[in-house]
């Protein structure tokens, strides 16, 4: 099955798990849960949970377990978008063509919904239903916290805010993106290895794959911002240039950026050499990431 | 040792653990870590980590382990204060007489510092240094996430925001406070039981103790707001009445509120009946909570 088709089919599956995991509440706190559901179920590619499940499948992990971990990762991703869209951060009113959570509800609710999605992700990873072995649950928690923390996702977001308007060079942009988006993507692939009790070498290979995949993904995003079709991309294009933002494309130019993305995708695939056909799905993802038009 | 003296001595100990656990970073992300340190080391009673260590001591838990868990709980408390003080939430410029984190830094940094403190708390609980048994680490994560989540702390904060200006009755205020502040206090005591591999009955007794303690603590806070000495309390008093906020005192009156706090403290102590002298420290805390003048 081609990746776009597989992603579409998977979106329904992960949405139903997210829907199950986020309670419906009564009373004054209902608003909080409504906002969490809104933020987590608003759509998106669902690439992170897809990577969790695809990696876990290589080790024959039970699908109900990998789907729970995928849902936890998606909640962390959703929380980061809710907080990033706040007026004091990137100040975006729209997300995927819909009102951002703080516009649909209000800022206070958006802050709390983000906080609670993050908290819920750890609740899921710590729950017995996620894996029978406490060692696995505890490793998942530890690895996710590192990926989402100050040396990972939130640290990357801080750098992005502080560096606004500054001219960053390629090594700095690479580091920023590896933290801001790469760390959670890398966790998504590592989570499959943790769930599957993979060897240290296998886990490192998946980490390497996801690291390169994340950068390829980001460069392609930058390319789509320059040459993409707004209708297909689903958001306004040309935003980076207007904002005077240093991106891979603004520094490398379109041609070299495209070569770089392709090289990273090839490099990502090379990390999978010891996995045989079990890793075909992940190889397809790497090709898809640089070929997509949205 | 009287509780105020013990708390003062303990503050130095837990601050040094917090100081160790929050990295110092270089580069653009340094600001994030500075804000985390500022928020977590700004002071406060350190009641939550004190309860973790006091409960864990009853089960002869290694102090380096209980201090790490205490630090994690204090980070969650600190994150909640940083986010609560934001302009879109309670809009407080001062915290403990010092500029709130978003005033000392900026709003975006405060949002990210709060997010990262919360994430760091789970990283600590998931780390091997916290307890050699993965079962214990995983249970701590799960219990903290429930206490800090939508049916606990953030849910209570949501209710507080939604109910602003509405006249709540005692059962509703009790529920709100049990969620907003009680759940994390209850976790603090339960954490000692989890670390100490206590029986289910012992864990339930500590949960009951902490639940009543939390309400007694809140009523005493409301009383101090009405009749406290601003210099001693360390924050402006009379705030609740000015804000037209329904509190235990505004509904019950001062005398009945005082009786109620005393009754809850007695009830908290009653939960400890099976622990003998091991629980003397916790009994002292319950008495202190209703007798304090700040």
Alpha helices (H) in B228-291, listed in sequence order: 230-233, 239-242, 248-252, 254-270, 280-291
List the single best residue of B69, B123, B152 to mutate versus A (max A Cβ within 10 A). Answer: B123
> Hey, are the CB atoms on B109 and A161 less than 8 Å from each other?
yes
Q: What are the pLDDT digits (tens) for A115-141?
A: 999 999 999 999 999 999 999 999 999
C-beta of residue A74 within 8 angstroms of C-beta of residue A46: yes
Query: In whole angstroms, how far apart are CA B33 and each of A97, B231, B286?
Result: 34, 31, 35
pLDDT above 60 (res A234): no
- Ordered by where they begin, the domains of chain B are 3-291 (1.10.600.10)
**Chain A nearest C-alpha distance from B287 (Å):** 32
Mean pLDDT over each residue of chain A, to the nearest integer: 93
Q: What are the pLDDT digits (tens) for B77-115?
A: 999 999 999 999 988 888 888 999 999 999 999 999 999
Mean pLDDT of A220-243: 73
**Chain B nearest C-alpha distance from A123 (Å):** 5
**Chain A nearest C-alpha distance from B288 (Å):** 32
Residue B233 is predicted with a pLDDT of 60
> Hey, are the CB atoms on A83 and B116 less than 8 Å from each other?
no
**Chain B nearest C-alpha distance from A294 (Å):** 29
Q: What are the pLDDT digits (tens) for A30-72?
A: 999 999 999 999 888 999 999 999 999 999 999 999 999 999 9
ipTM: 0.95
Mean pLDDT of B173-192: 94
Q: Which of B120, B146, B154 sits opposite A32 (nearest CB)?
A: B154
pLDDT above 70 (res B195): yes
Residue A232 is predicted with a pLDDT of 62
Alpha helices (H) in A22-106, listed in sequence order: 30-40, 47-58, 63-84, 101-104
Nearest-angstrom CA–CA distance, A38 and A115: 14
Mean pLDDT of B242-266: 89
Chain B environment of A162 (Cβ under 8 Å): 28-29, 31
> Hey, are the CB atoms on A116 and B154 less than 8 Å from each other?
yes
Residue B242 is predicted with a pLDDT of 67
> What are B7's two structure tokens?
């708390």
pLDDT above 70 (res A235): no
Contacts of A179 (CB under 8 A, 6+ apart): A151, A152, A153, A155, A156, A159, B29
β partners of residue A98: A95
Residue B51 is predicted with a pLDDT of 97
Q: What are the pLDDT digits (tens) for B165-180?
A: 788 889 999 999 999 9
β partners of residue B187: none
Which candidate, B126, B144, B142, B143, places its Cα nearest to that of B134? B126
């Amino acid at each position: 099955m081609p990746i776009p088709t597989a992603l579409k089919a998977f979106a329904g599956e992960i949405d139903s798990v997210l829907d199950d995991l986020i309670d419906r509440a009564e009373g004054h706190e209902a608003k909080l849960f409504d906002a969490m559901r809104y933020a987590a179920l608003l759509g998106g590619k669902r690439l992170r949970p897809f990577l969790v499940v695809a990696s876990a499948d290589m080790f024959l992990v039970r699908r109900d377990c990998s789907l729970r971990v995928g849902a936890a990762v998606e909640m962390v991703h959703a929380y980061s978008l809710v907080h990033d869209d706040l007026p004091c951060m990137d100040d975006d009113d729209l997300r995927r063509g819909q009102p951002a959570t703080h516009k649909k509800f209000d800022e206070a609710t958006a802050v709390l919904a983000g906080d609670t999605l993050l908290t819920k992700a750890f609740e899921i990873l710590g729950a017995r239903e996620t894996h029978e072995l406490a060692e696995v649950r505890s490793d998942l928690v530890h690895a996710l916290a590192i990926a989402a923390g100050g040396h990972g996702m939130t640290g990357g977001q801080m750098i992005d805010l502080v560096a606004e308007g500054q001219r960053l060079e390629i090594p700095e942009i690479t580091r920023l993106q590896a933290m801001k988006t790469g760390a959670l993507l890398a966790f998504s692939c590592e989570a499959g290895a943790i769930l599957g009790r993979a060897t240290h070498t296998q886990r490192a290979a998946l980490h390497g794959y996801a690291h390169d995949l994340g950068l390829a993904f980001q460069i392609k995003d930058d390319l789509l911002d320059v040459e993409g079709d707004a209708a297909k991309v689903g958001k306004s294009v040309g935003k980076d240039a207007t904002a005077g933002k240093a991106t891979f494309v603004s520094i490398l130019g379109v041609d070299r950026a495209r070569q770089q993305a392709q090289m990273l995708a090839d490099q990502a695939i090379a990390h999978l050499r010891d996995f045989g056909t079990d890793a075909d799905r992940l190889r397809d993802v790497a090709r898809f990431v640089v070929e997509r038009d949205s």
